[in-house]
Amino acid sequence: MNKRFALQSIAAVVLSAALAPAMAQDKPLKIGVTAGPHAQIFEQVKKIAEKDGLKIQIVEFSDYIQPNAALAAGDLDANSYQHKPFLDQQIKDRGYKIQSVGYTVNFPIGLYSKKVKKLEDLKEGAKFGIPNDPTNGGRVLLVLQDKGLIKLKPEAGLKATPLDVIDNPKKLKFVELEAAQLARSLDDLDASAINTNFALQAGLVPGKDSIAQESAKSPYVNLIAIRDQDKDKPWVAKLVKAYQSEEVRKFVLAEFKGAVLTGF
């Protein structure tokens, strides 16, 4: 009896050791998102990922800076809220060891005003709000150039700033604010560019309330980011697969009705 008990005990120890890695994987993945559409979409991704054995905990943020800081610090396993030009700039500025692993959705940025119905109705010297981060600020200036309101230095590229404006017939005065503050500041401005997620949070409907929108063909498709050290872990491919599923595509189309476009 003692010999049999000893063999059973050894078998139990071996089995426990074998199961330990699997049990460790049962810890939920912490995914950082900004409140609004990114959070709504990831609620759907969470349901799909669970069918493939992934448990997800969604962590919401109210700005664009903290999700990358939290990911780099190891407080998140991944985040889903930013486009590649923004991620590239963050990596350059802060030295983050993080990378993109898959595209998600695109939010054509909208231009809004409570004072005019059309861009051409803006008066000389109008105060125009733009995001104060280099990538989204440059994005808005490119939209304004595309709409014929300004002209930028040819070499300015995606990171254009107000200093790169070489022609400004309406003498627009650019007011640089944190992206999350632009919708709240609309009463104090003649017009403003507002990222779609923040516009929706403020009750604005891009297709109806904007006076102009960015072309859908842009380099600003959003992505899922992870730490470099995690790129070969099995959960990464499963997470991207869950996001880039037909179920998520259908949800985005039905829920946002063109204000958000899938980029996969």
What pLDDT does residue 61 have? 96
- Which tops the pLDDT comparison, 11 or 82? 82
Q: What is the per-residue pLDDT across 184-236, written as a single tens digit (0 to 9) for each? A: 999 999 999 999 889 988 999 888 899 999 876 778 899 999 999 999 999 99
- Would the pLDDT of 14 be above 70? no
What is the spatial distance between Cα 192 and Cα 175, in angstroms, rounded to a whole number? 9
Structural domains in the chain, sorted by start: 2-107+220-262 (3.40.190.10), 110-213 (3.40.190.10)
Whose CA is closest to 193, among 135, 261, 226, 144? Answer: 144
Q: Which of 12-16, 116-120, 257-261 has the lowest mean pLDDT?
A: 12-16
Give the C-alpha distances (Å, rounded to integers) separating 134 from 53, 197, 221: 39, 18, 16
Q: Does the model's pTM come out above 0.75?
A: no
What pLDDT does residue 219 have? 82
What is the spatial distance between Cα 170 and Cα 150, in angstroms, rounded to a whole number? 8
- Would the pLDDT of 149 be above 70? yes
Q: What is the per-residue pLDDT across 157-175, written as a single tens digit (0 to 9) for each? A: 888 999 999 999 999 999 9
- Would the pLDDT of 126 be above 80? yes
Q: What is the per-residue pLDDT across 229-264, written as a single tens digit (0 to 9) for each? A: 999 999 999 999 999 999 999 999 999 887 888 989
**In the block, residue with structure tokens 């995001």:** 131
* H helical segments located in the chain: 2-25, 37-51, 66-72, 84-94, 134-146, 196-201, 206-209, 234-243, 246-256
The DSSP result for 76-95, as a single string, is -SEEEEEEHHHHHHHHHHH-
